[in-house]
A and B are shown apart, each in its own frame.
Chain A
């Protein structure tokens, strides 16, 4: 047996024959042609053929997977109509070289331009330029289009797949994707997710064609690709796969059901989201609300501060999507591992213990006030709650409340409609947990951030992989801090939830219910899993 590891895109298991997808990689040869004009006509005809292919690809994809995936082919078609692209090709044709070489030259020039942009999304567009250029080159050279020639469904293994290639494949014949390169943002990954197929990307494997026809297992839970496993292991994987399929079906049945235990105890299960569109996933997963909306997305990957209006529109969009469901928005948590240039933060020896989150907000209130204004204005459009990260003292909370009151007064003088907003804090430092009795008198709720709480309690750096075994998330110290926090919350009549990774740990669901935790906020994909754990108690 051979075993490869990669980045898993979807937690699932596929078992079947391997199909090694070989690209008809055509090597372009640079030659001089006798008749420039004839070569230009040959290029123009190839472009026309390519456009016709792209139109039918667009329609096919539109019908099969929808507009979001189809539009990329419309963009490809427009790239072939782009004056700058055509000029670059024609320039080489004018020098008397062959069309294949001219297209490749233009391809390299534009792909390099996109690849050098400082934006991950735009960098990925280099793949589109290459995809569309290869299409024209294949037509010019008379190389047939790649496809899968198989009768039974297979595990497709490839170096990397372009959008044209992925979409061209007959979905009924694919069990899973495994690619040597590619990221979790690649088209393969996105498509695999939308089709609910297990996929592994970036396996870095050196094996190739010799895998063809062998039996393979893609284990999306472990991020492993097994080739020709021994019978015993294969039997085990078949068993796990059947289990997975059965679990999936069982979880689907839980949509619309209560989060209630056999003996009648209830708990709220909310979802964590990081951007506006994620609210759709939370609703689809039947989450009871949003327990953690990280507002960092508004600040990351840009060159200046987001305006009040921009923030307002984003918060409003999520609140409107969620309707009467609660949305807990966390104010900005920049610093530590999340760096943004325009904040001009100094390098620190210990960033996790440094200038971050609420500490920045209280030190630079102008940033904080802009965000609070946007949040309170958006509150008119749904059921908003606001929480503040990295609190360690009662004084901080009082200062926050002063600023909040000042913002609310300003807004009401300006005539902005607002609704009542619950104010809460993250309990993610041992200090906050230990004084939670005092803090509970100041706020409307607690949300326990177990990732940071674990790191600070155990003095273990989360980013350090060597310490993974020391990072025992079930450590009694952490559980004691959680229990203490919940107790102190209830003493003052406020609610307490958990929004860290631990919330989705079903080994602890019973413990959390016994402690009286009111709400668990987990990734959208874990909502039903946790609901099942609750209902099984």
Chain B
């Protein structure tokens, strides 16, 4: 299993638009990807759950990746966060 932490810089947090993009990115991989933050966690492939985490600017999230393609998935997810959030 791979894991990384990230602090959200986006002023609005994981709102609709980045949540949509994040789901699309996560769907590219076989691995199970879980986002935890704000005391809750959600499957990164599920839009509504992800939005319902209510992640805002300044919160630290952790992203856990487990599966065959976890190496590449981890790198891609981290890049996604850096670019979009």
Contact = CB atoms under 8 A, between A and B. Distances in A.
Contacts of A419: none
A302 B46 contact: no
A275 B10 CA distance: 12
Interface in B25-46: 45-46
A380 interface: no
Contacts of B12: 121
Contacts of A508: none
A105 interface: no
A515 interface: no
Q: How large is the interface on B (under 10, 10 to 19, 20 to 34, 35 or more residues)?
A: 20 to 34
Interface in A116-137: 117-119, 121-122, 125, 128-129
Nearest to A124: B16
Contacts of A307: 7, 58
Contacts of B46: 82-84
Contact of A314 (B11, B48, B52): B11
A74 interface: yes
A114 B19 CA distance: 15
A72 B16 contact: yes
A276 B51 contact: no
B71 to A, nearest CB: 26
A122 B54 contact: yes
Given A121-B15, A125-B16, A314-B11, A78 B23 contact: yes
B58 A128 contact: no
A313 interface: yes
Which of A125, A276, A314 counts the most B-chain CB atoms under 10 A from its CB?
A125
Contacts of B52: 113-114, 117, 122
Given A75-B16, A125-B16, A306 B54 contact: no
Which of A128, A129, A309, A310 counts the most B-chain CB atoms under 10 A from its CB?
A310
A355 interface: no
Which of A81, A82, A118, A276 counts the most B-chain CB atoms under 10 A from its CB?
A82
A106 B46 CA distance: 15
A117 B47 CA distance: 16
A304 interface: yes
B16 A128 contact: yes
A79 B15 contact: no
Contacts of B47: 75, 78-79, 81-82
Which of B12, B16, B17, B46 counts the most A-chain CB atoms under 10 A from its CB?
B16
A71 interface: yes
Interface in A273-310: 275-276, 297, 301-307, 309-310
Nearest to B38: A303
Given A302-B57, A306-B58, A276 B49 contact: no
Interface string A69-91: 00110110011011111000000
- Please classify the interface of chain A as helix (H, G, I), strand (E, B), loop, or mixed, using the class held by over half of its residues: helix
A110 interface: yes
B11 A302 contact: no
Nearest to B24: A78
Q: How large is the interface on A (under 10, 10 to 19, 20 to 34, 35 or more residues)?
A: 35 or more
B11 to A, nearest CB: 7
Interface in B50-76: 51-52, 54, 56-59
Contacts of B17: 71, 75
Nearest to A72: B16
Given A74-B20, A121-B15, A275-B11, A302 B54 contact: no
Interface in A295-351: 297, 301-307, 309-310, 313-314
Contacts of A72: 16
Nearest to A118: B54
A411 B47 CA distance: 42
A440 B20 CA distance: 52
B84 interface: no
A276 B54 contact: no
Contacts of B15: 121-122
B58 A302 contact: yes
A75 B48 contact: no
Contacts of A81: 47
A72 B48 CA distance: 14
A82 B56 contact: no
Interface string A98-119: 0000000000001001100111
B57 A84 contact: no
Which of B12, B17, B23, B58 counts the most A-chain CB atoms under 10 A from its CB?
B58
B58 A122 contact: no
Contacts of A122: 15, 51-52, 54
A85 B48 contact: yes
A276 B10 CA distance: 11
B54 A75 contact: no
A306 B57 contact: yes
Contacts of B48: 79, 82, 84-85, 110, 129
9 contacts: A71-B16, A71-B17, A79-B48, A113-B52, A114-B51, A121-B15, A310-B7, A310-B9, A310-B58
Given A81-B47, A84-B46, 14 more contacts: A71-B20, A74-B20, A75-B20, A78-B47, A79-B48, A82-B48, A118-B54, A122-B15, A129-B48, A297-B11, A305-B58, A307-B58, A309-B9, A314-B11
Interface of A: 71-72, 74-75, 78-79, 81-85, 110, 113-114, 117-119, 121-122, 125, 128-129, 275-276, 297, 301-307, 309-310, 313-314
Q: Which 6 A-B pairs have the closest CB atoms?
A: A75-B16, A78-B47, A82-B48, A82-B47, A75-B20, A117-B54
